[in-house]
Amino acid sequence: MDPKLRTPYVETWDLDLQRSLTNNLSVDIGYVGNHGVKLIGALDINQDPLTTLNVAGVGPVTTGSGWTAAALATCATTATKGACAPDPAAEQKGRPFSTPFPYLKFIDYYGNLDTSNYNALQAVLTARNYHGLTLTGGYTYAHSLGESSDQGTSGGLVIPANSHGCFRCQLYTSTAFDMRHRFTISGTYAIPGRKGFAQMLEGWSVNTAGLIQTGTPWGINDTTTDFAGVGEAFARDNPQANEGMQWDFFGNPSDFKAVHNFSGVDPTSGGTYTLCKPPAIKTNCVQNVTGIPFFPGTNATSGIAAPTANAACNQKAASLGPLATASLNVLGCYALGSSVLLPSAYGSFGTMPRNPWRDQGFRNWDFSISKAFKFNERLSAQFRVEFFNILNHVNFVNPFGGPGGSGTPNDINPSKAFSATGLGYVSQTPDAASSNPILGSGGNRDMQLGLKLMF
């Protein structure tokens, strides 16, 4: 712990303009901002420092102590999982405090390392009995940025893959709660009526509440592949190293947007592969999972037998060098649209930022019709027919993180997602994923009748 640890705090400011358009109609436009200062962050100060090796057939490679030049040269020419694995003993020996404290692996340092920023344009239109309409409509355009999405040691802290590198460069990005656009509307319209016919032509009103918001970010988290040879990838060793190892993404992030949970993606568009280990090959071993299509490598681990069939992956890996091709041959790749997701070249850190993609967003519309009856000065009644999620629109949960996120590790671990449900694929709505089955949080259409007596 930093001995001079400060208490984190947040600075906030806003500017708001209100204007009355008519006696019944007003508009409110404001700017809201805040800045998180001296937030708690973490580094592993016992992580292996990087050294530059001259690898035969490859050239200079800046990597961790787990790799030697000979090991990387062998990996480049013999791309198998066994040949492309760093030496854990060498990683431990290369740690800065290995001599005085050989029994210590990770030394996590907590200090005032993180910051956050939020900026938003907020607009509200309010109508008060405007020709029978009472309405509040709101729109927010915002951006939330930070090194971490929340605070505390319960998983919100993120140790960068390279604790000796630029802390902000690796972690500062859109937070899991970043919602760029959000539109809400709620209102009641009293339908003009007339006397007579046992009050059946008066007292009617319609009520509505709608919500439209764009998607929140999600990304990958490879906690099983130690590309850089620094021993920080494995979550089982250091629970705080929950960024894992990043891969390399090339193309347009919108190609990997989880629109309708990738329902428009043909699950057979990826490379066909088997999940059974020889010789126990069974007819049901061939699997085409949904999500972002996966293409296995030519030297994939035992039990996954099929060549990489995506030309874009092969071409991009070849342009990055032999060690990138080696990682592709062992781990495979993901491709959708004009974009590809490649494993980082062995001996290096991935280049993609955290949370580069978005989910499909959230849409919900509630609607009701009510009829009021007045019996005398003291007694009245209201009968209501209410529809929640009237369009029965399916809202899938964020693949990971974000409000009500899935949180299933294999869904976002690209080294394992292909053997589970598929990268980014989820099967739950937000209410089910968070065990919060309340109206308006992603459930299916609900209808109910209500009678209110007022006396």
Whether 227 and 351 have beta carbons less than 8 Å apart is answered as no
The Cα–Cα gap between 159 and 115 comes to 14
Whether 343 and 333 have beta carbons less than 8 Å apart is answered as yes
Longest pairwise C-alpha distance within the chain:
95
Specify the range with the lowest mean pLDDT, choosing from 153-157, 255-259, 271-275.
Answer: 153-157
- Is 127 contained in some domain? yes
- Is 343 contained in some domain? no
Q: Is residue 398 pLDDT above 70, yes or no?
A: yes
- Is 319 contained in some domain? no
- Is 40 contained in some domain? yes
Q: Is residue 288 pLDDT above 70, yes or no?
A: no
- Is 247 contained in some domain? yes
Backbone angles phi, psi at 22, to 5 degrees: -140, -175
The alpha carbon of residue 200 and the mean position of all alpha carbons in its chain are separated, in whole angstroms, by 51
Number of domains composing the chain: 1
Q: Is residue 281 pLDDT above 90, yes or no?
A: no
- Is 160 contained in some domain? yes
Backbone angles phi, psi at 318, to 5 degrees: -65, -35
- Is 303 contained in some domain? no
DSSP H or E segment with residue 71: helix 69-77
- Is 213 contained in some domain? yes
The model's pLDDT over 112-139, given as tens digits with 9 standing for 90+, comes to 999 999 999 999 999 998 888 999 999 9
For the record, the structure tokens of 96 come out as 């800065």
Residue 22: which domain range?
A: 9-258+358-454
pTM (predicted TM-score): 0.88
The Cα–Cα gap between 409 and 414 comes to 10
DSSP H or E segment with residue 89: helix 88-93
Specify the range with the lowest mean pLDDT, choosing from 116-125, 360-369, 404-413.
Answer: 404-413
> How long, in residues, is the chain?
455
Helices (H), 259-394: 311-320, 322-331
Give the residue from 222, 212, 267 showing the smallest Cα distance to 400. Answer: 222
The model's pLDDT over 10-67, given as tens digits with 9 standing for 90+, comes to 999 999 999 999 999 999 999 999 999 999 998 999 999 999 999 999 999 999 999 9
pLDDT at 201: 87
For the record, the structure tokens of 390 come out as 């009237």
DSSP 178: -
* DSSP secondary structure letters along 254-286: GGG-BGGGGTTS-GGGS--EE-SPTT---GGGE
